[in-house]
Amino acid sequence: MRSDNRPADALRPVTITRRFTRAVPGSVLIQAGRTMVLCTASVEAEVPPWMSEPGRGWVTAEYSMLPGSTSPRKRRERAGRVDGRSSEIQRLVGRSLRAVTDLAGLGPRTIVLDCDVLEADGGTRTLSITGSFVALVDALQAIRHELPDPNGLPVRDSVAAVSVGIVDGRPLLDLDHQEDSAASVDMNVVMTGSGRFVEIQGTGEEATFTDEQLGALLQLARQGIASLTHLQRHSLGPQWPFREPPAE
């Protein structure tokens, strides 16, 4: 058993609270254990100036850890002074959401996903992706009548993410900060609800790993993301934008 008495293949308790704030069309507070991230989705009626294809939209993300999210206090990031870790994570979140978004079906507008970490205990980047998808769907539902095809949302699939790693020789799912710090192998996996990989970030921390261990980690990630997809679907309820697969 782990420090919080979870089995190796168990997620931390995850909650998704929609409409957490009212100023934007998509707002989600997502929590896993002690880690809490506020994911908001704003709609801008323009696209980046470098985009050359007319009628095509864009999805991008910003990520920040609030000063009180960690101890000791994290210095507040100012405009133009985003640290390398935050920059890398927000690019990951943006890539992950664009992978499942039909940008042509979005029309000439930008969805900005802001991920603000309220408390950090491991898994902030993966929770940001999982929560941002729910916020994105809510934002698209709010502007549905403005989309090129108001009969359907411009999303091809859902997306979620989870961390896995090897700690004391054991593959574990959904690492908290203590486990992440002790991991000999650390990996973040992003997958669609239909089971396709979007991105795999994995490294040995002064260690190596085998094909067998990699397979075990990916299997844990697949299992965890299936559970997260179920939570996303349950949270969105009737707003879930996909048909249920036919019963076998």
State residue 68's pLDDT score.
82
State residue 205's pLDDT score.
85
- What rounded mean pLDDT belongs to the chain? 93
pLDDT digits (tens, 9 = 90+) for 186-231: 999 999 999 999 999 999 988 999 999 999 999 999 999 999 999 9
pLDDT digits (tens, 9 = 90+) for 86-105: 999 999 999 999 999 999 99
Domain ranges, ordered by start, for the chain: 14-73+85-237
Is pLDDT at 79 greater than 80 in this prediction? Answer: no
H helix intervals, the chain: 84-98, 103-106, 124-142, 177-182, 211-236
What is the CATH number assigned to the segment(s) 14-73+85-237? 3.30.230.70
Closest C-alpha to 161, from 136, 187, 139: 187
State residue 197's pLDDT score.
98
pLDDT digits (tens, 9 = 90+) for 48-70: 999 988 889 999 999 998 888 98
pLDDT digits (tens, 9 = 90+) for 140-199: 999 999 999 988 899 999 999 999 999 999 999 999 999 999 999 999 999 999 999 999
- Region 24-47: mean pLDDT is 97
CA atoms within 13 A on the CB side of 56: 12
Determine if the pTM surpasses 0.85.
Answer: yes
CA distance 24 to 41: 7
DSSP tag of 107: -
CA distance 159 to 62: 17
State residue 247's pLDDT score.
39
- Residue at 246: amino acid letter: P
Is pLDDT at 136 greater than 80 in this prediction? Answer: yes
CA distance 62 to 65: 11
CA distance 246 to 248: 6
Is pLDDT at 244 greater than 80 in this prediction? Answer: no
223: left (phi over 0), alpha (psi -120 to 50) or beta: alpha
